Amino acid sequence: MRGTARIGRVLGSVSPHERRSPFGDRWLRVLAQHDRPVTFDDLATAAEGDARYSDVVAWLARAQLAELIEDAGFAHDATGRPVGPRRFVLTERGARLVSRDRRRLALV
């Protein structure tokens, strides 16, 4: 089926108009836990088969617009040519959000 490529089974349907991804918190934690930029594949893997590729793409776009993450570009080979997949990192704003959520969860 066109446009329905899935990473795995979707646990619940999310309206296309829903602004908050059910995986957003998980993906922010993945970005926070890595000491290197993460790739689309890293994020898709973190969804553990519960999200569509389009969910990852939509979240990346919204997270960049909200200034939670930024595009870190590509790695470069010895000649300076870009290689591998595009990578993403948390912004300072994104890191503060993750830190605030960790503190909130520690109090519960």
Q: In this predicted model, what pLDDT tens digit does every residue of 8-54 receive, in sequence order?
A: 433 344 344 445 678 888 899 999 999 899 999 999 999 888 889 99
Domain parsing of the chain, residue ranges: 24-107
pTM listed for this prediction:
0.72
More confident call, 66 vs 1: 66
Antiparallel, parallel or unpaired: β 69-76 and 82-90: antiparallel
Q: Quickly name the fold that domain 24-107 has.
A: Arc Repressor Mutant, subunit A (1.10.10)
pLDDT at 2 over 50: no
Residue with tokens 């893997």: 45
pLDDT score, position 99: 87
- Axis crossing angle, helix 24-33 with helix 53-65, rounded to the nearest 10: 70
pLDDT at 56 over 90: yes
Mean pLDDT of 49-62: 92
